[in-house]
Chains A and B, each alone.
Chain A
Amino acid sequence: MGAADLWFLSRGSGLVLLVLFSIVVVLGVATRTGSAPGRWPRFAVAELHRTLSLFAVSLLALHVVTAILDPFVTIGWAASVLPFASPYRTVAIGLGALAVDVAGAVLVSSLLRQRLGQRTWRAVHWLAYLAWPLAFLHSLTAGNDLGIWWVTLTEVGSAVAVATAVLARLFSRAQPAVRPS
C-alpha cells in the first residue's frame, strides 16, 4: 500500500464513518423513543445500536491511524486525542480530536455501565449529542470533497437524519405521559 493510498483510505473511511455515526445516533434515539422500524423489538434496536457503535470504533481507528501514518500531513499521534494540537489544519483536526474524546467518554462509560450506575452512564451518554456535531463540523472543515455531489449528498443526508431523530426525541420528551384511567 502506497503513501497516497493511506490518504485516500483516510478520506473514504472518514466519510463512511460519518454515515455510520449518524446511523448509531438515530438508532440510539430510536431505542429511547421506542420507535423501532417494522416489527423490530425494542431490545433488538438497542442491540444493533450497540453493535454498530463497536463497528464505528473500528472504523474510527482506521480513519485516525491512516491519517496519522499518511506521510504527507503532519498530524501526530498526540493530536488525535489532544484538541488543537495538530500543526496541520489545527481547527479542523482539533474538532475531530474533540469528537474522538467525547465519543471515547461515551464508549468507556457504556463499557463500565454496570459499575457507574444508570444515572452517571446516562449523564455521560448525553455527550453523544455533542460528539456528532463535532464530527460533522470536522468532516466539513477537514475534507475538501464537498465539490463531489455524492459526498455533499451524504453529508446533507446524515445531517437531516440526525436532525430528524433529535427533533423526534425532543418531541417525545415534550409529550406528557398518558395515564391509564
Chain B
Amino acid sequence: MDHEDERPGRVRLPGYESPGPAASSRGDGVRRVRRAGNWTAAALIAGVAAASGYFAHHQPPAASVATQARPASASGQAAASGHGTTAARLHSSSGSAPVVTSGGSGVAVGSAVGSAAGPAGTGSAGGGAASVAWRDN
C-alpha cells in the first residue's frame, strides 16, 4: 500500500502529515527490494526451467542409442533400468565394470570401460549390438 498516493475521491484524515524525505526514501527502497526480489524469483524459475530443458533436449551423440547404465557400486556391479529415456549415462569410474544395459528389444549384457576422470568412456553391448560411445552427462 502506497501512502503517498493521492487518488481522486480520497481525502486525508485530519492530522495526517505527509512523510518526510527519510520515510519516503525508505519506502522507495523497500519497493525496489520487493520488485527486485519478485523479478529474481521469476528469473530463477525461468532459468532453472530453461537450463533443465536445454540439458534434456541436447544430449550427446550417443543419445540416439537408448542405453542406460546405472552407477556401479563398490563391487562394480550395476543394474539395468528401462526408463526409456534417450540419455546414455555411465557414472562408474571403475576401470572395467560389468554392466547390464536395457534396450528397446530386451536386455543385453556387456561391459563398459570408463576413464577415472569420468567424462567419457566407451562401451559395447553384447548380443551382436553395435559399439556404443557415451559420455557421463
List A residues at the B interface (Cβ < 8 Å): 2-5, 7-9, 11-13, 15-16, 19-20, 40-41, 43-44, 47-48, 51-52, 55, 59, 62, 71-74, 87-89, 144-145, 148
Q: Are A144 and B87 in contact (CB under 8 A)?
A: no
Q: Are B36 and A3 in contact (CB under 8 A)?
A: no
Q: How far is the CA of A71 from the CA of B85 in the complex (A)?
A: 13
Q: Are B71 and A40 in contact (CB under 8 A)?
A: no
**Residues of B in contact, count (CB < 8 Å):** 40
Per-residue 0/1 for B2-26: is the Cβ within 8 Å of any A Cβ (1 yes, 0 no)? 0000000000000000000000011
**Overall SS of chain A's interface:** helix
The chain A residue sitting closest to B51, CB to CB, is A12
Q: How far is the CA of A71 from the CA of B32 in the complex (A)?
A: 42
The chain B residue sitting closest to A41, CB to CB, is B29
Q: Are A16 and B51 in contact (CB under 8 A)?
A: yes
Interface centre among B30, B41, B52 (most CB of A within 10 A): B52
List B residues at the A interface (Cβ < 8 Å): 25-26, 28-30, 32-33, 36-37, 40-41, 44, 47-56, 58, 68, 70-71, 73-74, 81, 83, 85, 87, 89, 91, 93, 118-119, 135-137
Which residues does chain B contribute within 8 Å of A8, judged by CB atoms? 52-53, 55-56
Q: How far is the CA of A4 from the CA of B74 in the complex (A)?
A: 23
The chain A residue sitting closest to B55, CB to CB, is A8
Q: Are A74 and B52 in contact (CB under 8 A)?
A: no
Which residues does chain B contribute within 8 Å of A72, judged by CB atoms? 68, 70-71, 81, 89, 91
Q: Are B73 and A87 in contact (CB under 8 A)?
A: yes
**Overall SS of chain B's interface:** helix
Q: Which of A4, A40, A87 contacts B29 (CB under 8 A)?
A: A40
Q: Are A88 and B29 in contact (CB under 8 A)?
A: no
Q: How far is the CA of A88 from the CA of B111 in the complex (A)?
A: 19
Q: Known contacts A9-B48, A72-B70, A73-B71: does B91 contact A88 (CB below 8 Å)?
A: yes
Min Cβ gap B102→A in Å is 13
Which residues does chain B contribute within 8 Å of A2, judged by CB atoms? 83, 85
Q: How far is the CA of A62 from the CA of B73 in the complex (A)?
A: 25
The chain A residue sitting closest to B29, CB to CB, is A44
